[in-house]
Amino acid sequence: MNQAWIADNRFWLEHQRSLEFELMKARERQCSLKRASGAPDLLAISAAEGDGDGWMLTYLDLITVLLVMLMAMLAQALVHRPAPVDGAPHVMDIAGLTRVDPPGSLLLVPPVAVAPEPVPVVAEPEPVVPPPVVAEPVDPLAGLPLDQLGSDIEVIENERSVSFRIDSSILFHSGQTDLDPKGLEVLQRLAGVLKGVPHRIIVTGHTDTRTIRNARYPSNWELSGARAGSVVRVLQQQGIAAGRMTAMGMAGTQPLADNGTPEGRAKNRRVELTLEKREGR
């Protein structure tokens, strides 16, 4: 609170005290007149004395009321006075002290801030992913010199594989697993063709259903497996990687013809080399 404000307060306090003192003197004088005359009527006292002091009491009461109102207004202004900023002197807002709100202002409802409606977020459409392109199976026979195989090798092409079928009578003697020289020549021709493809090679030995019993091959399973192994060994010697080949013996479980006839049994005794078709290669 600055010095000017303190000085104003002291001025009004001294003025209030002087008014109170005058009021007290007037009341004492009035009481003295009442005791001297014994009449309680203020108007009669004023007429008897003829000094015109009767109006002073009413005047002092009015001044007292005004003084009280003024002090109340000053106190109100002091309570709501904003604090000075950076030592600046305080300026009393007289207009704010005398402002009267219009009738019905207390009934007015303050406006309510309405939050803006949220803007809907439109999701971006997901990118359309085209379906994967399925490569057509590559024909392992494409570009191969099949005319070099000769009539001893039958080529069978299925949906997912290609097989080279050789009659066992061309490769082996009856009940044997050692390759015949003619059979060795057939396998050498076939190896030259198979070098041009990267596919895996499954070599399968097949027999008829007649039982075989000897010390070396107790059943057709051992015989068919041993014949498939002999073919794999020759192909590896001809330059085909061993990791590309698999040898299997199927005995007489996959016949091509009736095992009840000599012709059917001869057709069932065979060796097949199957190339598995692979996608995109």
Which CATH architecture does the domain made up of 146-276 adopt?
2-Layer Sandwich (3.30)
Other C-beta atoms lying within 10 Å of the C-beta of residue 43: 9
Beta strands at 270-276 and 153-157: parallel, antiparallel or unpaired: unpaired
pLDDT given at position 196: 81
Q: What is the pLDDT of residue 45?
A: 47
Q: Decide: helix, strand or coil at residue 145.
A: coil
**10-residue stretch averages of pLDDT, the chain, 281 residues long:** 58 70 75 64 48 65 77 64 55 55 57 71 73 59 76 87 92 90 92 88 95 86 95 94 94 95 95 78 43
- Give the domain ranges of the chain: 3-99, 146-276
Structural contact between residues 275 and 201, judged by C-beta atoms closer than 8 angstroms:
yes
Output the pTM of the full model. 0.50
Element housing 154 (H / E): strand 153-157
**Helix and strand numbers, DSSP H then E, in the chain:** 8, 5
201 forms beta bridges with 245, 275
| Residue keyed to tokens 């015989």 | 223
